[in-house]
């Protein structure tokens, strides 16, 4: 059977493309090398409980906000979303002083102005930029967009430089950056566009699922199959066959071969290039450029399990730092001095949680010595790092040390189970000094091969979703995607 679109990789981007394209009438096949689709949204089971791997909360789901129209089209608004605290959805604590983030742009600025009254005007200007940036996600699809110049400007502006030019108080700069453990902060290179994206949608509105991130995966999988699409797991693609300048086949390690008119890759662009072994379209210079792009850091995660009725649920995320060095602390792995604490919504409505996740950055260089062998020293490293995470978080959240069990993962875990190079948490590093080289296009030198996923545009649930629509615009046309999204894409509080 020949397919219209063959998608390599069943991560979020691949599944969303599969849903969009199958709903548009394309005959879609998704090939996933793992036992289950989902990528970073996969969950795992331990002693009867389900734990997330990479998903913790989402932003911008209210009507008129930046993710609403996309999730409406994908059928994801019907999931059991629970809004976080309106006036304190993220709490940034630096050196034991806490600063709440409120939902809604004006409320966000006013709440922080209580602690930094001299910066009130600057905070409202920043909130206005966040609000405008949320609307820019749709500029690529609009037939009458006039915002592309602003997007380019924000891509080429360092976020760190912007903050220091617009705010006078260094502590406030650290506070504004403190909820950015969901990206890699680098003073010299992080684009302002990525910084605004990584914070803005959550300030619109913030939500958790009552359940694991696999609810998103399951919903997309069911939708794809209901629309006639196919998903085949444990099918690792080893070669993409090019003929007369276009791809014609995907060859899997199990010997199966699949033909398609179009191909979409949801895996790392460097791996995609390696699969095209004998093609003429991908030139050595392109291959070398993709291979040399640096990865963002990985994450060390501690998943804590609590006995029933032991720990009260907290309806916010806590970003906890020992010192005001939010932009640089991740360069040192010892001791842990910054951590994100995220709480699972009680599924029994008891008011007590059973799970808390603690996350801290971990660089590949720190753990790669154990890549080919896991010995006692690796287990000791994990135990020590977990203890440091728990101790730092418990200084603000008493009771975390009373967890029944702690399960840990490192960048090596991500590298093993998702084939993510260097266990990168957020894909390829975006660089304002080389924006055109690091913000990749979904199009490739092969006219019927497209890219999607966090390595292409922006990362996270929001970034990957909008990238999926951009990829599909290359296949279906911008007008078709604009029609899908139009009507609920104006943004706002």
Instruction: Assess if residue 238 is contained within a domain.
Output: yes
372 lies in the same domain as 453: no
What was the pLDDT predicted at 279? 82
Q: Is the pLDDT of residue 53 over 90?
A: no
219 lies in the same domain as 275: yes
Please, which residues bridge with residue 263 across strands?
6, 449
The residue among 375, 394, 425 that closes a domain is 425
What was the pLDDT predicted at 410? 96
290 lies in the same domain as 321: no
Question: Which tens digits make up the pLDDT trace of 107-164?
Answer: 999 999 999 999 999 999 999 999 999 888 776 777 766 677 888 999 999 999 999 9
Query: 375: which residues sit within 8 A by CB, 6+ positions away?
Result: none
Instruction: Assess if residue 108 is contained within a domain.
Output: no
263 lies in the same domain as 281: yes
Q: What is the CATH number of the domain that holds 282?
A: 3.50.50.60
287 lies in the same domain as 388: no
287 lies in the same domain as 350: no
Reported confidence tier of residue 202, pLDDT bands at 50, 70, 90:
very high
The residue among 391, 425, 459 that closes a domain is 425
Reported confidence tier of residue 61, pLDDT bands at 50, 70, 90:
very high
Question: What mean pLDDT is predicted for residues 471-490?
Answer: 83
The total of structural domains in the chain comes to 2
What was the pLDDT predicted at 489? 43
401 lies in the same domain as 448: no
Q: Domain of residue 36: give its range.
A: 2-63+68-77+212-294+427-485
What was the pLDDT predicted at 487? 54
343 lies in the same domain as 453: no
Reported confidence tier of residue 417, pLDDT bands at 50, 70, 90:
confident
Q: Is the pLDDT of residue 39 over 90?
A: no
Overall pTM surpassing 0.85 (yes/no): yes
Instruction: Assess if residue 37 is contained within a domain.
Output: yes
314 lies in the same domain as 288: no
Instruction: Assess if residue 359 is contained within a domain.
Output: yes
277 lies in the same domain as 250: yes
What was the pLDDT predicted at 144? 66
218 lies in the same domain as 285: yes
The residue among 425, 443, 462 that closes a domain is 425
301 lies in the same domain as 407: yes
Mean pLDDT for the chain overall? 93
Question: Which tens digits make up the pLDDT trace of 77-109?
Answer: 999 999 999 999 999 999 999 999 999 999 999
């Amino acid at each position: 059977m020949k397919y219209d679109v063959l998608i390599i990789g069943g991560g979020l981007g691949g599944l969303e493309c599969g849903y969009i394209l199958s709903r548009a009438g394309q005959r879609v096949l998704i090939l996933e090398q793992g036992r289950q689709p989902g990528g970073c949204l996969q969950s795992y089971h331990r002693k009867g409980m389900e734990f997330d791997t990479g998903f913790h909360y989402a932003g911008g789901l209210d009507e008129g906000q930046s993710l609403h129209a996309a999730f409406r089209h994908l059928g994801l608004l019907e999931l059991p979303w629970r809004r976080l605290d309106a006036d304190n959805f993220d709490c940034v604590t630096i050196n034991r002083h806490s600063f709440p983030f409120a939902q809604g742009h004006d409320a966000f600025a006013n709440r922080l102005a209580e602690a930094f009254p001299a910066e009130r005007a600057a905070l409202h200007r920043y909130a206005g930029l966040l609000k405008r940036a949320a609307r820019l996600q749709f500029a690529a699809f609009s037939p009458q967009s006039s915002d592309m110049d602003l997007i380019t400007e924000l891509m080429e502006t360092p976020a760190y430089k912007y903050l220091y030019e617009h705010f006078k108080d260094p502590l406030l700069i650290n506070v504004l950056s403190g909820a950015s453990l969901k990206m890699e902060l680098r003073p010299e290179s992080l684009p302002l566009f990525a910084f605004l994206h990584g914070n803005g949608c959550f300030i619109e509105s913030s939500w958790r699922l009552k359940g694991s991130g696999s609810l998103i995966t399951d919903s997309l999988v069911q939708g794809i199959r209901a629309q006639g699409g196919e998903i085949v797991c444990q099918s690792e693609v080893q070669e993409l066959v090019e003929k007369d300048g276009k791809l014609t086949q995907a060859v899997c390690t199990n010997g199966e071969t699949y033909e398609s008119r179009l191909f979409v890759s949801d895996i790392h662009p460097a791996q995609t290039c390696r699969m095209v072994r004998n093609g003429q379209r991908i030139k050595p210079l392109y291959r070398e450029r993709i291979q040399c792009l640096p990865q963002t850091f990985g994450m060390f995660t501690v998943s804590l399990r609590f006995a029933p009725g032991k720990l009260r649920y907290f309806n916010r995320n806590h970003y906890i730092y020992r010192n005001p060095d939010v932009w640089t602390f991740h360069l040192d792995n010892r001791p842990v001095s910054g951590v994100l604490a995220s709480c699972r919504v009680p599924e029994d409505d008891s008011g007590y949680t059973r799970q808390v996740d603690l996350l801290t950055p971990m660089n590949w260089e720190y753990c790669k010595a154990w890549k080919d062998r896991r010995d006692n020293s690796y287990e000791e490293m994990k135990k020590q790092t977990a203890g440091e995470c728990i101790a730092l978080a418990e200084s603000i959240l008493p009771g975390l040390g009373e967890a029944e069990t702690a399960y840990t993962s490192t960048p090596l875990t991500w590298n093993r189970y998702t084939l993510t190079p260097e266990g990168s948490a957020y894909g390829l590093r975006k660089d304002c000094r080389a924006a055109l080289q690091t913000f990749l296009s979904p199009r490739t030198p092969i006219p019927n091969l497209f890219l999607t996923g966090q390595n292409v545009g922006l990362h996270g649930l929001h970034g990957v979703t909008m990238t999926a629509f951009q990829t599909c615009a290359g296949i279906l046309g911008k007008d078709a995607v604009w029609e899908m999204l139009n009507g609920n894409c104006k943004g706002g509080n």
